[in-house]
Structure 1
Amino acid sequence: MDFARLRETRSKALPDWVLIGFAVLASVIAIQIVTGVWQLTVAYAGALLVFAVALHNATRRAPREAEATLAPPDWSVTVAAIERPDVATVITERSGRVVCANGRYGEWFGFYNTPPELALDEDSQEILREAEREAWRSGEATVGPLVGTSGRWHAVLRRAGRGQNHLVWELAPVEMVDLGARVVRQLDDKLGRALGIAGIQAVAVSAKGEILGSNGEFARRAAGEIPANIVGREFVEYLTADDYDRIYYAREGTSGEDLRLVHMPISDPDVIAGGEGQPPVLFLILEGGLHAGNSAALPEIESLLALLPLGLAMTDRDGRFLFANKAFRRAAGLETLGEIPPFPSDLVVREDKGALADSIRRHAAGTPSSGALPIRLHASPEEPVTLSLAGVRGLGDAAVLLSLKDTTEETRLKRQVAQATKMQAVGQLAGGVAHDFNNVLTAIIGYCDLMLLRHAPGDSDYDDIQQIKANSNRAASLTRQLLAFSRQQTLRPQVLQLPDVISEVSALLKRLIGEKIKLEVKHDRALGAVRADPSQLEQVIVNLAVNARDAMLSKGEAGTLTISTQKITPREVRALKNEILPPGNYTALIVEDTGEGIPSDKLGKIFEPFYTTKETGKGTGLGLSTVYGIVKQSDGFIFCDSEPGEGARFSVYLPVHVQMAGEVVAEPKKEVEPRAAFGGTGRILLVEDEDTVRAVAERALVRQGYKVTVASDGEEGLEIVRAGADFDLVISDVVMPTMDGPAMAREIRKLKPELPVLFMSGYAEEQLRREIDIASMYFLPKPFSVAQIGEKVVSVLGATRE
């Protein structure tokens, strides 16, 4: 019997709800029989009825809700779309989680490795992180090459998806040209046959000494076989030497012709320097009996040398150029010339001409040998380079092979590293000098304030004291410039628009530049907001304007100062072809003048501290270095373009700030009413190793009504607290001998966890907060006046007592 058909027939005859109804009725009857309480039976039946109705409604609503809900993305379709054999593709969310990847990504990097944390070196990972930030910011980014453990990669990142909440990463391998394999193929082709016709045997040998390939002439003479049969064999097993170090083929012995071996590497020298192994070598084997007039192979040799990235050239016995490849022309500074000069000595400075000519003549006339000679080229006389020479035989007119490496990029990088190292060292020195100088200025300004409390305006000493204080404040501004150059000043960045900052400072600029100079202000449309300290940006504008004013006045005639803002897109950045400025969205501040310009030999030094082109006594040399420090600390870039007699153009590029939800653009500054007089009561522990600073701070606080206990170092201050003394506030210097301020504060917090600490230091607040992780920490920059320390203590005690 077909039981399946029977069940189907019964299910059609009796619907499911009928069967469920019989089951419910049976359970109600059973409850009544067992309990005999009809109220309980009725309650049970009602509960079952309510449950059945609710279940029925839920089952009817679920399909409709499922239809109304959007189906989740089908990533299998996406995987099929991005599956490519030559590109690794992965899709990530904003959180960085991988949501989809093709098979090639899993094979090369592993499905569980999320970009940018891939199998790359540290520099490449950092480049990839910056590209990720750029892609989220501007929509796309392209970087490469990225160096990994298994090769080099080129990456393209694009933002995509609904709401632009996904990032598509495409990583393609960078194809490396295998020059060794190319030369091996050439030896088995026309080049090898041409060399063989000229009687030259050629063989490519790996760094291990194994034969990679050869022309037919070498295989016939050395082994009596075809070239394919000797691949992988040791090169030296085909050679032998006599007591005079003359070389012969092993199968011919010393009865055969002695050989001359010319060898050259056939790989990029930059790859060698990068530590990726020694390159293969091409050996040209010449017989001693070949006559000098055999030049049939020279064109083929030239075509071979043209393939190599090494700077190679050939000369005849008289020292005249026969050939020079592009790499040699580029290294010698002749890339733009149609023809090379007659002699190699024409490339070098006058002092090196004789030595180079003698060396070429010696290698051309003597036995085959090689050597190196330091020379200075006309194209870059300040940078000595090394010219390698090798005497050759059997190549017709060719007698000397010259090798010159293009060191232009290497020299540029060396200069940049040296300049960066120098600027960093000077910055550290400037920061240290500013810190020590601030201690001295704190004492001078403080004592001036105390003396002014005893002298009224009109006293004979009042004006003198005010003059001392004014000069001290001027010195304090110099220390702030030193801290700005060393990028150690405290910044309070805000999201702002550059036109607002320029508008705030324009009235001051008109007074500074005077009536002879015309001020023009131009603004671009749709400028992006930037995140920077408005007061520091004002200082940048003022410093650039003052420098422009001095340049125009020194010219002896009126001029025009133009301040403009521009919107810079990633496409415009790429059009600039500036290797330092990464692609992105920027808001540019451009300051132009019509002065006398900056000489080209001084243009690279203008941002160095204490460097000035002004007359002695008319400039500190800190204006542009301060501008440089502020711009770099604001994550910006600054460049100067100038031609003598045509003025100067300073361009400041600040990255456009991507505004987050709830973030507000800063409003223009408003005038602030002066604060009222201050004063207060409380017990203060003052810890300072400088006697004069400690004395000034103590007298200032005592005059305000505070009870002050002093200590000369951190250990003494800690012992006072351990002895049981109770304080409302600890004021401490940061840098002190034996035990510094932060170490003392941490030990005091173990005894008094809620005790606030006010640090005073000549270093920047931002730097100190990165290095000191202490709760309820406040900061007072040096130098400070009597009024400033009093106001700060009032604000700290007021905040802690609320």
Structure 2
Amino acid sequence: MATLSSRSSSTKGGLAWPLVVTIASGIVAAAAIVALLGDPVVAAGFIGSAILIAGGLAGWARLSRDQAAPETEIDWSLAHVLASASNEALAVTDRAGRLVCANERFETLFGGFPTPPSLPVADKDNAVLAKAGRAAWRDGEASAAIAKGDHSPLDVTLQRAGDDMLVWRFSGGEIIDIPSRVEAMVGGDSGARLGAAGIMVALISRQGRVRAANAVFRERAMGSRDSAAEGRDFARLLITDNHGLIRFEREGLAGNPLRILQVPFLDDDDGPMLLALLDEEHDNSPAPSMNAGAHIRTLVSLLPVGMALVDRDGRFVHMNDAFIKATDISPDNPPLYPGDLVVREDKGPLADIIRRFANGAAHAGDMTVRLKEQPDEPVAITVAGARGMGEAAVLLSLKDNSEETRLKRQVAQATKMQAVGQLAGGVAHDFNNILTAIIGHCDLMLMRHSPGDSDYDDIQQIRANSNRAASLTRQLLAFSRQQTLRPQVLQLPDVISEVSNLLKRLLGETVDLVVQHGRGLSPVRADPGQLEQVVVNLAVNARDAMLAKNPHGGGTVTIETMAVTASEIRKLNDDVLPIGDYTALRVSDTGTGIPQESLSKIFEPFYTTKDVGKGTGLGLSTVYGIIKQSGGYIFAESPPGEGAQFTIFLPVHAAQAPGRAALPQKPKKEDLWGSGTILLVEDEDMVRAIAERALTRQGYTVMTAENGEAALEMVADKPEIDLLISDVVMPVMDGPTMARAIRKAYPDLKVLFMSGYAEEQLRKSIDIDNVAFLPKPFSVQQLAEATRDVMTDE
């Protein structure tokens, strides 16, 4: 523990009070470190000792008032011993923000003794540390998460010790260095155990120099167990005779021939090599004894890579723990052949390659197999011939690429979802154009028919079915995250309250609805209508799952809301969910749950676990799209023996800055009649005809164009135009490009865009100021209202 600063003082007589405080403070600081290391009993003992010592010294000070005392500094030796026992970096600062002391781990981690929170990390992380420091002084403890310059994560815990000290504890920040660990194993006890078995081991760098070697290797190659082999050229330690036999140069041609085995422990071809050297058997010697096989098994068991030995008949001889763990082998029923581990299709190819190498094939071969216990995750296996290794003839090395496979599967899933989303968005756009024409014609016909006419009910039925079709296209757009949302700042309990009555009717009398709200819920920003659709979809799915379990009814649907803090998210250690504050919504049921093989597919479109004809497969994909477009995250779980649980995390909405009040909403005008000239540009003839008739009926003069180029030709003569209404996506020239060109001649021209795509999806192309947006499909009434609002907007 390095002491960076201390306080000292003296008085004119006796042992000064500052000395009493100083010694007691040192013991209290040591006790604080002991408490952080996890032994509060020892910490209490230290504090009690401080009280007794301080009392005794106080009495002594009064009896020795006239005696002079030298200046005294804090004795940090006890704290030093305690802090050195910790693998974490520890530092202590005082009220003035000065670094009082720190241990060696702190110096190693940060390259010296910088004073927290000013550490060699990113500025934003220093700001995080400063905020945590203020919280610790105020609350007694705090925590934070930062990253070093090499992006390795650090967890920081702060705790106040007394009234004037703050203890900083840093954990993490270490990158696993496998070569260094192997180097320590070779030169340490593991290398000594191999040497006792007669195996010489050396770790060779990519330049061919010895990085580490066990004592047996040093004795044979250098002549002494204490000789330094590090840095020596490995090739110069060996010689080769006319028969190609390898010996140590120091032993000469009379020495025992050597067999050199390369042990794979890294995938990096440029990384260091681990070599095992064995004494070669003479030609006139008997066959290798079982002791040689025992030596090899000892070596294989120590390696962190999954390896197994197979004899010439294709049977397992030995498997290390890493191989057993990677293949999920049951200790009670170990396999006899490697083919017993893989699926039926891979049994033949694996047996063929093992037979080829057992018969003397050179080098090594790789193949990908699917394990019987994990058929969906292919693994790479390396097969190499093992000569001179006793009864073993083939060496199997298994590469654990489950993480790589998982990432590939996620990328493939994301790519597939994106492609299907684009297809769904395009289909919805085309349907919206058609539905706009159908709904518009129905509206125009209803203007000529009143209730009671023979055709009135039929027209209303057509319009109702068109609206149902429009809701289907909204589901497609929600799945593809291309719908138009109208987000608001809201509280989740309010949304649940609005939809509770509807849920009770949908669930029926035999299904109980339980609603539980947590404390301290923060507001979120989302579209309330879409959020209600999410809750309804999840609740109806839960009802159907319970009815499938019990057709006569019964069960409980539970809706919970809860506040989730950033520290709780950090404990989850989820790669998908960013650290932050969330308001969570959970919908659970008491049904049969979701099969594990279906969990990864339930958010795909048109995937359903219901019987044929009882589900479209769009419900959960719509939920997924709405939540993702709202900036949230949704997770599905199905614990064994329990029902399904869907948990939604919505980011907490930051409060609006003070002084910026929301703009008051302008009152709607009941009168939709207007005047002025409108330039209508739409490439779909049906939509253009409906919009023209609807606007003409409202009193506007309408000029129409079928595309952007035709519109530019019409404005070349500079006619009087009060409003431009245009589709966004059109062939040859899109709406925003045309609008920018027209704005050059009419700088103050008002623009109303309409599209079957969502406004959020088109924002990058609609980079024009002072424009309005009308999503398709729309009714004649909605078109008239949107036109009126734009025309009267000053």
What is the TM-score with the length of structure 1 in the denominator? 0.74
Cα distance in 1 between the residues matched to 2:661 and 2:608: 37
The equivalent position to 1:469 in structure 2, one of 463, 470, 474, is 463
Cα distance in 2 between the residues matched to 1:703 and 1:680: 10
Equivalent positions of 1:167-316 (< 5 A) are: 174-188=173-187, 192=191, 200-215=199-214, 218=217, 228=227, 230-239=229-238, 259-267=258-266, 269=267, 272=268, 277-289=270-282, 292-294=287-289, 296=291, 304-315=299-310
- 1:738 CA displacement: 2.1
The equivalent position to 2:587 in structure 1, one of 577, 591, 594, is 591
1:680–1:160 CA distance, 2 compared to 1 (3 A): farther
Cα distance in 1 between the residues matched to 2:446 and 2:97: 78
- 1:393 CA displacement: 4.6
Alignment match, 1:102: 114
Structure 2 contact 493–561 (Cα < 8 Å) conserved: no
The equivalent position to 1:416 in structure 2, one of 389, 410, 413, is 410
1:522–1:314 CA distance, 2 compared to 1 (3 A): same
Residue 602 (str. 1) matches residue 598 (str. 2): yes
Cα distance in 1 between the residues matched to 2:227 and 2:96: 49
Per mean C-alpha deviation after superposition, the further-off stretch among 701-710 and 467-476 is 467-476
The equivalent position to 1:566 in structure 2, one of 561, 565, 583, is 561
Q: Percentage identity across aligned positions?
A: 54
Residue 749 (str. 1) matches residue 761 (str. 2): no
The equivalent position to 2:655 in structure 1, one of 637, 656, 659, is 659
Alignment match, 2:787: 793
- For structure 2, which runs of at least 5 residues remain unmatched after alignment? 1-92, 161-166
Q: Which amino acid aligns with 1:287?
A: E
- 1:424 CA displacement: 1.7
Structure 2 contact 724–751 (Cα < 8 Å) conserved: yes
1:728–1:664 CA distance, 2 compared to 1 (3 A): closer
Cα distance in 2 between the residues matched to 1:298 and 1:781: 76
Cα distance in 2 between the residues matched to 1:725 and 1:82: 81
Equivalent positions of 1:132-531 (< 5 A) are: 151-156=150-155, 174-188=173-187, 192=191, 200-215=199-214, 218=217, 228=227, 230-239=229-238, 259-267=258-266, 269=267, 272=268, 277-289=270-282, 292-294=287-289, 296=291, 304-315=299-310, 321-334=316-329, 337=331, 340-353=334-347, 356=350, 359-360=353-354, 363=357, 366=360, 370-396=364-390, 398-531=392-525
Residue 611 (str. 1) matches residue 607 (str. 2): yes
Q: Which amino acid aligns with 2:589?
A: D
The equivalent position to 2:552 in structure 1, one of 551, 557, 560, is 557
Equivalent positions of 1:599-678 (< 5 A) are: 599-642=595-638, 647-660=643-656, 662=658, 676-678=670-672
1:580–1:449 CA distance, 2 compared to 1 (3 A): same
Structure 2 contact 624–634 (Cα < 8 Å) conserved: yes
Structure 1 contact 607–628 (Cα < 8 Å) conserved: yes
Per-residue deviation, residues 163-185 of structure 1 (Å, max 9, x unmatched): xxxxx999777334444344445
Per-residue deviation, residues 51-78 of structure 1 (Å, max 9, x unmatched): xxxxxxxxxxxxxxxxxxxxxxx99942
Alignment match, 1:94: none
Cα distance in 1 between the residues matched to 2:168 and 2:331: 43
Per-residue deviation, residues 661-700 of structure 1 (Å, max 9, x unmatched): 559999xxxxx99973411111111111111111111111
Cα distance in 2 between the residues matched to 1:559 and 1:389: 57
| SS of structure 2 residue aligned to 1:726 | coil
Cα distance in 1 between the residues matched to 2:587 and 2:212: 63
Alignment match, 1:78: 97
Structure 2 contact 305–399 (Cα < 8 Å) conserved: yes
| SS of structure 1 residue aligned to 2:585 | strand
Q: Which amino acid aligns with 1:599?
A: P
- 1:757 CA displacement: 0.6
Per-residue deviation, residues 255-308 of structure 1 (Å, max 9, x unmatched): 8765432102344x4xx49xxx52333243442427654555766665654554
| SS of structure 1 residue aligned to 2:454 | coil
- 1:528 CA displacement: 3.0
Structure 1 contact 331–408 (Cα < 8 Å) conserved: no
- 1:650 CA displacement: 2.5
Per mean C-alpha deviation after superposition, the further-off stretch among 515-524 and 300-309 is 300-309
1:726–1:643 CA distance, 2 compared to 1 (3 A): same
1:694–1:186 CA distance, 2 compared to 1 (3 A): closer
Cα distance in 2 between the residues matched to 1:223 and 1:160: 54
Cα distance in 1 between the residues matched to 2:314 and 2:436: 73
| SS of structure 2 residue aligned to 1:329 | helix
Q: Which amino acid aligns with 2:99?
A: A
| SS of structure 2 residue aligned to 1:492 | coil
- 1:539 CA displacement: 1.0
Cα distance in 2 between the residues matched to 1:791 and 1:367: 81
| SS of structure 2 residue aligned to 1:491 | coil
| SS of structure 2 residue aligned to 1:175 | coil
Structure 2 contact 94–100 (Cα < 8 Å) conserved: no
1:400–1:787 CA distance, 2 compared to 1 (3 A): same
Per mean C-alpha deviation after superposition, the further-off stretch among 344-353 and 755-764 is 344-353
- For structure 1, which runs of at least 5 residues remain unmatched after alignment? 1-73, 91-100, 119-126, 162-167, 667-671
Per mean C-alpha deviation after superposition, the further-off stretch among 562-571 and 479-488 is 562-571
| SS of structure 2 residue aligned to 1:559 | coil
CA RMSD of aligned residues (A): 4.4
| SS of structure 2 residue aligned to 1:460 | coil
Q: Which amino acid aligns with 1:637?
A: Y
1:510–1:172 CA distance, 2 compared to 1 (3 A): closer
Per mean C-alpha deviation after superposition, the further-off stretch among 641-650 and 728-737 is 641-650
| SS of structure 2 residue aligned to 1:754 | coil
Q: Which amino acid aligns with 1:634?
A: S
Per mean C-alpha deviation after superposition, the further-off stretch among 279-288 and 200-209 is 279-288
Q: Which amino acid aligns with 2:275?
A: L
1:197–1:746 CA distance, 2 compared to 1 (3 A): same
1:214–1:339 CA distance, 2 compared to 1 (3 A): farther
Per mean C-alpha deviation after superposition, the further-off stretch among 197-206 and 425-434 is 197-206
Equivalent positions of 1:676-715 (< 5 A) are: 676-715=670-709
Structure 2 contact 561–584 (Cα < 8 Å) conserved: yes
Per-residue deviation, residues 331-363 of structure 1 (Å, max 9, x unmatched): 1113x7478445444323355456545655664
Cα distance in 1 between the residues matched to 2:462 and 2:486: 30
Cα distance in 2 between the residues matched to 1:345 and 1:793: 73
Alignment match, 2:58: none
Per-residue deviation, residues 352-388 of structure 1 (Å, max 9, x unmatched): 4565456556645648754334433221123332322
Cα distance in 2 between the residues matched to 1:688 and 1:382: 50
Alignment match, 2:90: none
- Name the larger-Rg structure: 1
| SS of structure 2 residue aligned to 1:766 | helix
Per-residue deviation, residues 187-209 of structure 1 (Å, max 9, x unmatched): 45565566556654433211222
